Amino acid sequence: MSMNSLPELDRDHLIHPVTSFRGHEAAGVRVLRSANGARITDTEGHELVDGFAGLWCVNTGYGQESIVEAATEQLRRLPYATGYFGLGSEPAIRLAASLAERTPGDLDHIYFTLGGSDAVDSALRFIRYFQQARGMPGKDQVISIEKGYHGSSTVGAGLTGLPAFHEGFGVPLDWQHKIPSPYPYRNPVGEDPQAIIDASTRALSDKIAELGAERVAAFFVEPIQGSGGVIVPPKGWLKAMAETCRAHDVLFVADEVITAFGRTGPLFASADEDVIPDLMTVAKGLTSGYVPMGAVFMREHVYATIADGAGSHTVGHGHTYSAHPVSAAVGLEVLRLYEDGLLENGRRMGTRLLDGLQGLAAHPLVGEVRGKGMLAAIELVTDKAARTPLPAAAEPGQRLFDRAWEEGVLLRAFPSGVLGFAPPLCCTEAEIDRIVEITARVLDRTLEDPDIRQAM
Ligand code: PMP
């Protein structure tokens, strides 16, 4: 065993996701040691409330013994089963059936992946199969939204609408197109819900017309844009976008990697918006982050078209760990916990969180408080009237995160100066209140930052 400390070993060997490699070497790692409920503890003994459920995934909270038992039992009985050669495992089949029972409409066929990026990738490939099976191989263009996030696979990163995921990778590809974000706080049409809905549906129809409807395969959308800064479109927006797609024979794909499994209140945000997507991608809350798993759901007509089109031929798409039995066993238990009070608690705590954060709206740095369920954000500005974003010189992404960490809460701090909140659904009232109190302190400390003062 190496005599070097964990931070040294980390610096020398472990590559971190979405990180400045050199910046991380200089800053060093914070090592998490243990967690329980909504509390996490690092190796220095610093205890925090996890206000971001890890990476918006540990929806059940940590230390749920029944999940540990479900995983352990499955590890003992059958730790692996391939889905190739017509084989399968009981938890995978039961999880697929349980999910199908709960998804909106006839979104009943499920392909399991390892996470969100490969769920998006799989959806893209199934969409190609679908259009080819219909005899429309030229219907291969895909539209998504600026500020959207659909993972960082080689192809999927092109659907993502955040430039940091494009630079140097040759994406977006020539079949990947974007329309503007509905972003109510910064929409050129203003904040009127109907004006935003009209602008977005028009942008989508115009883009489809420009490309030719006979060439447009699918439209990908998050019900709430997560990584783009928790951007919450008005009620009715998702349905209007789905109807626009339907009118032009374009598949509507809801990327619910963040929004599913109680994050916005119900099991699926699409259902809440009265939308049945043609395909839906999920991950994160599916297994509450305890083990990796994602999934693509498809409606009956999508599945049947692919199945009939392929006939006796192989649909050439697959992963060694698709429908992994341990992940599936965890997924079944996580689903049981959601329905055994966690969704309900999450809804109550979500209201408390948003009310608490709204209470900070008068702070000089708070431009907007927004959210839905246990998903919320505060957008910081240096001038409320002009909605001026925090200056890059104040390093909002790093400094806001560090202040929150020091004060005792894990929050997401986007470089755009947006603080993101996505606590576990198991949070107590005291934990929610602590998140809000600490946020107030973070805002006050930020107000004292010389780089912020200079910009005000
Ligand atoms: N889609 C959305 C909407 C996401 O938020 C994410 C991850 N944050 C992904 C896809 C990619 O998921 P993963 O990181 O599990 O690959």
What ipTM does this complex have? Answer: 0.99
**Quick one: 292 and 147 in the same domain?**
yes
Mean pLDDT for the chain overall: 97
Best mutation site among 117, 231, 287 for ligand 1 pocket (most ligand atoms within 8 Å of CB)? 117
Taking Cα atoms as reference points, which of 271, 49, 281, 276 lies closest to residue 151? 281
| Long-range contacts, 192-195 (Cβ 8 Å, 24+) | 193/234, 193/235, 193/236, 193/237, 194/234
pLDDT beyond 90 at 284: yes
Q: Ligand 1: does its nearest atom lie under 6 Å from the Cβ of 371?
A: no
Contact 134, 305 (CB under 8 A): yes
**Quick one: 249 and 386 in the same domain?**
no
User: Rounded CA gap, 444 and 448, in Å?
Assistant: 7
Q: What is the residue-wise DSSP string for 42-81?
A: ETT--EEEETTHHHHT-TT-B--HHHHHHHHHHHHH-S--
pLDDT beyond 80 at 195: yes
Amino acid 311: pLDDT: 81
Which atom of ligand 1 is the closest one to the Cα of 17?
14
Is 112 part of any domain? Answer: yes
Q: Which residue has the tokens 């490699």?
A: 21
CA–CA–CA angle 84, 122, 74 (5° rounding): 50
Best mutation site among 16, 258, 259, 280 for ligand 1 pocket (most ligand atoms within 8 Å of CB)? 258
The token pair that represents 191 in the structure block: 């904040």
**Quick one: 286 and 390 in the same domain?**
no
Domain boundary among 323, 352, 382: 323
> Cα-flanking dihedrals φ and ψ of residue 256, to 5°?
-105, 30
Is 423 part of any domain? Answer: yes
pLDDT in tens, 29-66: 999 999 999 999 999 999 999 999 999 999 999 999 99
Distance in Å, CA 149 to ligand 1 centroid: 7
**Quick one: 49 and 85 in the same domain?**
no
Q: Work out the number of other CB atoms within 10 angstroms of the CB of residue 335.
A: 22
The token pair that represents 428 in the structure block: 């107590």
Q: Ligand 1: does its nearest atom lie under 6 Å from the Cβ of 226?
A: yes
Is 395 part of any domain? Answer: yes
User: In this structure, which residue's CA is closest to atom 12 in ligand 1?
Assistant: 116
Using CA atoms of 106, 107, 109, 111 in order, give the dihedral in degrees to the nearest 10. Answer: 180
Work out the pLDDT band at 81, boundaries 50, 70, 90.
very high
Taking Cα atoms as reference points, which of 142, 242, 221, 224 lies closest to residue 183? 224
Amino acid 257: pLDDT: 98
Q: Ligand 1: does its nearest atom lie under 6 Å from the Cβ of 368?
A: no
Which atom of ligand 1 is the closest one to the Cα of 284?
15
> Cα-flanking dihedrals φ and ψ of residue 33, to 5°?
-110, -45
Amino acid 404: pLDDT: 98
Q: Ligand 1: does its nearest atom lie under 6 Å from the Cβ of 116?
A: yes
Q: Ligand 1: does its nearest atom lie under 6 Å from the Cβ of 227?
A: yes
Q: Ligand 1: does its nearest atom lie under 6 Å from the Cβ of 256?
A: no
pLDDT beyond 90 at 2: no
The angle that helices 396-407 and 429-447 make with each other, rounded to 10 degrees, is 130
**Quick one: 279 and 354 in the same domain?**
no
Q: Ligand 1: does its nearest atom lie under 6 Å from the Cβ of 283?
A: yes
Is 86 part of any domain? Answer: yes
**Quick one: 49 and 102 in the same domain?**
no
Work out the pLDDT band at 1, boundaries 50, 70, 90.
low
Which atom of ligand 1 is the closest one to the Cα of 117?
16
Q: Is 33 helix (H, G, I), strand (E, B) or coil?
A: strand
**Quick one: 228 and 134 in the same domain?**
yes
User: Rounded CA gap, 282 and 115, in Å?
Assistant: 8
Counting Cβ atoms within 10 Å, is residue 308 exposed (0-12), middle (13-18) or buried (19+)? exposed
> Cα-flanking dihedrals φ and ψ of residue 294, to 5°?
-135, 180
DSSP state of 37: B
What domain count does the chain have? 2
Which atom of ligand 1 is the closest one to the Cα of 118?
16
Which atom of ligand 1 is the closest one to the Cα of 255?
3
What separation in angstroms does the CA of 30 have from each of 16, 20, 42, 311?
A: 12, 15, 7, 52
Distance in Å, CA 363 to ligand 1 centroid: 32
Contact 120, 282 (CB under 8 A): no
Work out the pLDDT band at 221, boundaries 50, 70, 90.
very high
pLDDT beyond 70 at 307: yes
Domain residues for the domain of 448 are 31-63+341-455
Is 277 part of any domain? Answer: yes
**Quick one: 126 and 191 in the same domain?**
yes
* Residue, of 4 and 264, whose pLDDT is higher: 264
Residues 6+ apart with CB under 8 A from 45: none
The mean per-residue pLDDT over the stretch 170-175 comes to 95
Q: Ligand 1: does its nearest atom lie under 6 Å from the Cβ of 222?
A: yes
User: Rounded CA gap, 18 and 77, in Å?
Assistant: 37
**Quick one: 59 and 90 in the same domain?**
no
**Quick one: 97 and 191 in the same domain?**
yes
Q: Ligand 1: does its nearest atom lie under 6 Å from the Cβ of 149?
A: yes
Lowest-confidence pick of 98-102, 147-151, 315-319: 315-319
**Quick one: 377 and 296 in the same domain?**
no
Lowest-confidence pick of 141-150, 245-254, 304-313: 304-313
pLDDT beyond 80 at 437: yes
Q: Is the peptide bond before 172 cis (omega within 30 degrees of 0)?
A: yes
Residues 6+ apart with CB under 8 A from 129: 306, 309, 310, 315, 317
Work out the pLDDT band at 17, boundaries 50, 70, 90.
very high
pLDDT beyond 80 at 395: yes
Give the torsion sign (CA, 256, 262, 264, 267): positive
Domain boundary among 293, 323, 353: 323
Distance in Å, CA 254 to ligand 1 centroid: 12
pTM metric for this prediction: 0.97
Is 302 part of any domain? Answer: yes
| Helices (runs of H) and strands (runs of E) counted in the chain | 15, 16
pLDDT in tens, 241-278: 999 999 999 999 999 999 999 999 999 999 999 999 99
CATH classification at residue 186 = 3.40.640.10
End-to-end CA gap in the chain: 52
**Quick one: 293 and 396 in the same domain?**
no
Is 24 part of any domain? Answer: no
pLDDT beyond 80 at 3: no
pLDDT in tens, 342-378: 999 999 999 999 999 999 999 999 999 999 999 999 9
Is 183 part of any domain? Answer: yes
CATH classification at residue 358 = 3.90.1150.10
Best mutation site among 284, 297, 319 for ligand 1 pocket (most ligand atoms within 8 Å of CB)? 284
